[in-house]
Structure 1
Amino acid sequence: MSNQYPQQPQPGWGQQPYGQPPFPPQPPKKTGPGKIIGLGCLGIVGLIVVIGIIGALLGGGSDSKKSSGSNDVKAAASPSSSSKPADAGKSKSSEPKASPTKTKKAEKKTVVFKVWGTAPAGALGSLDITYGSDSDTRKGSFKNGKFEATLPLNKDAMYYNVMAQLQGSGDINCSVTVNGKTKKGHASGGYNICNAQLSSGLLGGWE
């Protein structure tokens, strides 16, 4: 007795049976929205941290420069209080002050010539007076019983003297003073001459 249905060939090993559809391909795995959001948040946070570090470094450098610059400007603009009194003290102390010793030394650098006494006027006047140094001779006049004159001291001068000649009668005295050293003379009657002279010594003194 034969079967009414024809026999179907058997499928080989690993093949799908005839008449059945193949297994559908598995859909690709989708990454969940949570993972995507997490990775995105981590990237944004890292970027913000990096930007913050760079900003802090730049800001710190500029602040230090500004602060140092402002300090330098303030230091240059306002001098220290301690320097003011020091400068003031220096300016006061540096001012020259005239002392009695300095004025005396200034007076000693002049030569003083004097004639005094009685000298009645004659045909040529009361007295014939000449004074000065070996390189500078001058004429003087006798008034009211005296004569006085000064000249600056010349260190190169060999001598300083004063001469007064009577004109017939009288009694007179004369003197010359150089560097505190004084030499005197005297004359009386007739046409006598009063002479006083100081000469420069070898050691720089006056004799």
Structure 2
Amino acid sequence: MSQQQYPPQQPGWGDPQQPFGQPPFGVPKRKKAGTGKVIGLGCLGLAGLFVLIALIGAVAGGGSSSNGAKGPGIKVGGAADGSTSKGYQTVDASEGSDHKAEKRTSEKVVIFRVWGTAPAGALGPLNITYGSDSDNRDGAFENGKFEATLPLDDDAVYFSVTAQLQGSGDIHCSVTVGGKTKKAHAAGDYNICMAQLSSGLLGGWH
């Protein structure tokens, strides 16, 4: 007696149906979030780095342009042979600096000078006295000239220089205070050359 074969069990209501002879479909794997974004951002960052390097190079190249402003004492737009191109000027930083320095110095000191011909006589060489109302000094006439300086004393009433000949000669003398100069002249015998500047009541020297 043969056994009765029962039909295979039918899937129940709600059970997933599978095609006969095929394995069940697996659940699709999700891609890791952000993988594409990271790669994209990496490429974008590399491109940005190249752009930044290019900008730095452009700025550095523009800063070294020969048409930019130059400091004093540098020829701007000059040719290779040292000539200056049209429309540009050569600026000398030292131009006039010596004159300005001398002027500033002369405003802080008093300068006394005697020059000319003054042979020594029976009483000796040319007699020179210089200074202020409170400070008198003797000077020596050598090689046809004499020059001395003293600090400027704002309380002084006057500054002067005198030179007396010893029988013959021809001399000039001067005193300079604050850019103001007074000169005098003497010739022959025992004449005296005297130059003096006095302080004014309202300031200044005359």
- TM-score w.r.t. length of structure 2: 0.59
Residue 99 (structure 1) aligned with residue 98 (structure 2): no
Is 1:28 matched up with 2:27?
Answer: no
Using a 3 Å threshold, how does the CA distance of structure 1 residues 200 and 99 change in structure 2: closer, same or farther? farther
Preserved contact between residue 135 and residue 157 of structure 1 (Cα < 8 Å): no
The AA in structure 1 aligned to 2:61 is: S
- Classify the secondary structure of the residue corresponding to 1:182: strand
CA drift of 1:203 comes to: 5.3
Q: Which runs of 5+ in 2 are unaligned?
A: 11-16, 75-90
Once residues 126 and 63 of structure 2 are traced to their aligned partners in structure 1, the CA distance between those partners, rounded to angstroms, is 67
Q: Match of 2:64, SS?
A: helix
Which residue is 1:16 aligned to? Answer: none
* Equivalent residue, structure 2, for 1:56: 36
Shift of 1:24: 4.2
What letter matches 1:103 in structure 2?
Answer: D
Structure-2 change in CA distance of 1:180 and 1:54 (3 Å): closer
Task: State the aligned residue count.
Answer: 179
Match of 1:185 in 2: 184
Q: CA RMSD in A?
A: 4.2
* Aligned residue in 2 for 1:174: 173
Q: Decide whether the 8 Å contact of 1:123 with 1:167 is kept in 2.
A: yes
1:111-150 matches, cutoff 5 A: 111-133=110-132, 138-144=137-143, 146-150=144-148
Structure 1 unaligned residues grouped into runs of 5+: 1-19
Q: Secondary structure at the match of 1:173?
A: strand
**C-alpha contact (below 8 Å) 2:73/2:93 kept by paired residues:** no
> How far, CA to CA, are the matches of 1:87 and 1:157 in structure 2?
55
1:27 partner amino acid: P
| Higher radius of gyration, 1 or 2 | 1
Q: Percent identity?
A: 42
Task: Kindly indicate whether the alpha-carbon contact (under 8 Å) linking 2:72 and 2:93 is maintained by their aligned counterparts in 1.
Answer: no
CA deviation digits over 1:155-203, x for unaligned, max 9? 7463432121334555543222335432123445665543211234455
TM-score (norm 1): 0.59
Contact 2:117 2:169 in 1 (8 A): yes
Distance 1:112 1:28, change over 3 A: same
Q: Distance in 2 between matches of 1:69 and 1:137?
A: 80
Q: Structure 1 CA distance, aligned partners of 2:167 and 2:72?
A: 62
For residues 56 and 99 of structure 1, do their structure 2 counterparts lie closer, same or farther at Cα, with a shift above 3 Å needed? same
- Structure 1 residues 98, 160: CA separation in 2 closer, same or farther (over 3 Å shift)? farther
Q: How many Å separate the matches in 1 of 2:53 and 2:135?
A: 66
Aligned residues of 2:116 and 2:145 also touching (Cα < 8 A): no
